[in-house]
């Protein structure tokens, strides 16, 4: 992989990490998801930096940004856009919604109605929006970062498993460390003082490079072995789908590229497997989902 690619990636990560403190792993996973062309689900409590991560990513990547506060009364048209009659032209004109931005933060997605959730997730899957029989393409860099609070139980509509599968990865941010919190209290964080570190052409180049990252027979067998294990495991109600299997592959490729390699190694798979599987697997019991997901990965790969 060329030195220019490594330099661009290092610049992106460095700039975002200057803005969101003590979250290098999560920042790398978010960039990995973007380079792999997938969407990201953040499951965490309010106030830990989800909006900061999304906005800083948009600024460093030089892309436009929109935040949608998902509420129970939000309509699909509020997200996608609507056609309105223009009396001057005597015709209907389409007014695009916030989903037409490149990076979209869908905050508290589980508070939206199932109908609005479905409209958003359909657009995520297809990369386009259909309104009144007309189809409108979304940004070629379109990325949804959706958030939900796992502790909320009232006034929420949990995403069905078929829609959870639309997210490439899921992550949690967690609380910052003691040193980072001290910096926050002292006001030493460089919040949103950011400029674009990459051009649209360079982003396209990075994504094209990701697809060329080499996977050996050993790596392919590791992916297939884990996939089959999730389907045969008696504790799992629904194992990894073919889409999930491909998500694991593309996430590992993007991780290898971020690490400066043009080939995937086992550690690349291990770095992303939990984040690809955790929101996809459904278990027969109500035990700790996170622990059970990690156990399956450990049992298969050691």
pLDDT of 224-270, one tens digit each? 999 999 999 999 998 999 999 999 999 999 999 999 999 999 999 99
Q: Do 225 and 297 lie in a common domain?
A: yes
Q: Is residue 257 part of a domain?
A: yes
Q: Do 173 and 257 lie in a common domain?
A: no
Residue 146 tokens, joined: 């959706």
> Exposed, middle or buried: residue 228 (CB in 10 Å: 0-12, 13-18, 19+)?
middle
Q: Do 154 and 285 lie in a common domain?
A: no
Q: Do 96 and 156 lie in a common domain?
A: yes
CATH assignment of the domain containing 291? 1.10.8.80
Percent of the chain with pLDDT over 70: 97
Q: Do 279 and 176 lie in a common domain?
A: no
Q: How many domains does the chain have?
A: 2
Q: Is residue 197 part of a domain?
A: no
What parts of the chain have a pLDDT lower than 70?
1-3, 188-193
Residue 96 tokens, joined: 């695009």
pLDDT for the residue 1 = 61
Q: Do 177 and 247 lie in a common domain?
A: no
Q: Do 8 and 126 lie in a common domain?
A: yes
C-alpha angle with apex 191: 186 to 197, nearest 5 degrees?
A: 140
Q: Do 128 and 54 lie in a common domain?
A: yes
The model's pTM: 0.93
Instruction: Out of 186, 205, 239, pick the residue that ends a domain.
Output: 186
Q: Do 70 and 172 lie in a common domain?
A: yes
pLDDT for the residue 139 = 96
Q: Is residue 195 part of a domain?
A: no
At 107 the three-state DSSP class reads strand
> Exposed, middle or buried: residue 26 (CB in 10 Å: 0-12, 13-18, 19+)?
buried
Q: Do 136 and 217 lie in a common domain?
A: no
Distances (CA, A) of 178 to 24, 47, 209: 15, 16, 38
Q: Is residue 61 part of a domain?
A: yes
CATH assignment of the domain containing 83? 3.40.50.300
Q: Is residue 16 part of a domain?
A: yes
Cα 88 to the chain's mean position, in Å?
41
Instruction: Out of 171, 186, 201, pick the residue that ends a domain.
Output: 186
DSSP percent split of the chain into helix, strand, coil, nearest 5: 50, 20, 35
Q: Is residue 129 part of a domain?
A: yes
Q: Is residue 248 part of a domain?
A: yes
Instruction: Out of 167, 186, 205, pick the residue that ends a domain.
Output: 186
Contacts of 188 (CB under 8 A, 6+ apart): none
Q: Do 256 and 175 lie in a common domain?
A: no
Q: Do 24 and 171 lie in a common domain?
A: yes
Q: Is residue 205 part of a domain?
A: no
For 272, the domain range is 213-302
């Amino acid at each position: 992989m060329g030195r220019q690619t490594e330099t661009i990636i290092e610049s992106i990560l460095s700039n975002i990490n200057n803005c969101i403190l003590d979250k290098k792993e999560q920042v790398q996973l978010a960039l990995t998801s973007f380079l792999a062309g997938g969407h990201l689900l953040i499951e965490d409590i309010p106030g830990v930096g989800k909006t900061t991560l999304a906005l800083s990513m948009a600024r460093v990547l030089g892309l436009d940004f929109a935040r949608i506060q998902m509420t129970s009364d939000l309509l699909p048209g509020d997200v996608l856009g609507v056609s309105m009659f223009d009396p001057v032209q005597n015709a209907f004109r389409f007014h695009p919604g916030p989903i037409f931005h490149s990076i979209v933060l869908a905050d508290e997605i589980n508070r939206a109605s199932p109908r609005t959730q479905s409209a958003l997730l359909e657009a995520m899957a297809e990369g386009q929006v259909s309104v009144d029989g007309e189809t409108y393409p979304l940004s070629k860099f379109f990325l949804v970062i959706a958030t939900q609070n796992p502790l909320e139980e009232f006034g929420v509509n949990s995403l069905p498993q078929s829609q959870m599968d639309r997210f490439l990865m899921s992550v949690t941010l967690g609380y910052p460390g003691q040193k980072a919190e001290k910096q926050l209290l002292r006001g030493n964080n460089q919040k949103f003082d950011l400029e674009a570190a990459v051009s649209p052409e360079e982003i396209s180049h990075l994504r094209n490079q990701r697809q060329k990252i080499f996977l050996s027979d050993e790596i392919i067998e590791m992916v297939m072995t884990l996939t089959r294990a999730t389907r045969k495991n008696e504790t799992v109600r629904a194992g990894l789908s073919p889409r999930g299997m491909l998500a694991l592959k593309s996430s590992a490729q993007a991780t290898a590229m971020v690490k400066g390699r043009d080939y995937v190694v086992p550690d690349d798979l291990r770095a992303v497997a939990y984040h690809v599987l955790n929101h996809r697997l459904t278990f027969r019991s109500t035990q700790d989902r996170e622990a059970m997901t990690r156990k399956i990965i450990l049992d298969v790969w050691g």
